[in-house]
Structure 1
Amino acid sequence: MNQYHSWQSWVQQMMNQMEQQQKMIEQLQKKIEQIQSIEHPPKTVIEKIEYKFDQLKIETLEGTLQIGLTPNGSDLSEIGDLYSNQGKQLPQTDDQALHFLQEYMVSDIPVWMNQYCRDHDIQVSEKHKERMIEDVRKQLPQRMEYYRNQEPEAPPETLFHQIQTEIQHSIAQYFDTIQGDEDR
């Protein structure tokens, strides 16, 4: 009888311990889910969007829309055009170059976009242009890092001019592919 009683109490003790462990596991799983949701915010997934960027078809689009900043191609007639600073002080550090690019996006690009649209008879709403500018501005740090990795020894003003040229070329390519927009 004594053994039976101790056996029963041992089983009861093990059951209690298992319940406590199960509760602890559930709490830990909840904490892990909370941490993962903070580190990886939910993504918006847009499926099956087709653009005619040289017949490129996109089946699934996730994350931020990138307008296609590419280093290839340029409308410049002379290599010297790339390095004309239009009377502005040249950046001495990568941080200054990034700051100058942010200013360029706010002050010069809207004027350039309006002129380009007028010259090519393209109808794009101001709201659409603002979204494009904001999207490109968000990409500037990554583009600076990309060019810095490509040319570690390049002076900041070179990177500034490369990205400046890339921005104009990419926006021009985008405008050339759209048929106008509905946000007018």
Structure 2
Amino acid sequence: MDNDAWYHYIEQLHAYIKKQDQTIRDLSTRMNDLESQQKNIPSNTIIEKLEYHFDQLKIERMDGTLHIGFTPEDLANVEDFSVPLQQRSKQKKQVDPLLVKLEDYVNGVAPNLLNQMALEENRPIDETKKELIIQDICNQLSERVSFYKKEAEKQQIQQNVREPFIFNKVKEEIDYGLREYFKKRE
């Protein structure tokens, strides 16, 4: 290579480095501008409207007070709407013998049924999960008994066979529900 070729090569290299330097300066300027713009943006986010849809809200157990639709300022003006303890205890004393029978069924049969299904499906289930499932079933028994009492009246089932009818219907529902739970469980 002769001197002119080297000189030309060095000039090209110098022009390329100068262009890269200018690009870096431009990017640095743009970055500083963006940072200053970001600092000037107000941090107060304004939410104009919040919409809640509670059509699928299901509360199985609540050990406190749930206030829906209140702001913290509104809570200061809320009266206590809780049921006095005396009324609660009176309600508990009027226990339906059919409910007791169904609870005994759930507490006695459901754990074994869950163990059997866990073996059949080769899907182990821990004790805590079993207890939660059983508790959830027990919490729904009263509602299901009421439903089938109304069904028995609609179907005009005789009084002497109503209790076995209701017991069997709820029992079938429990067994079916547990099997479906295991089928859908991943």
| TM-score normalised by L of structure 1 | 0.47
Which structure has more relative contact order (CA 8 Å, sep 6+)? It is 1
Return the index of the structure with the highest Cα Rg. Answer: 2
Higher strand share: 1
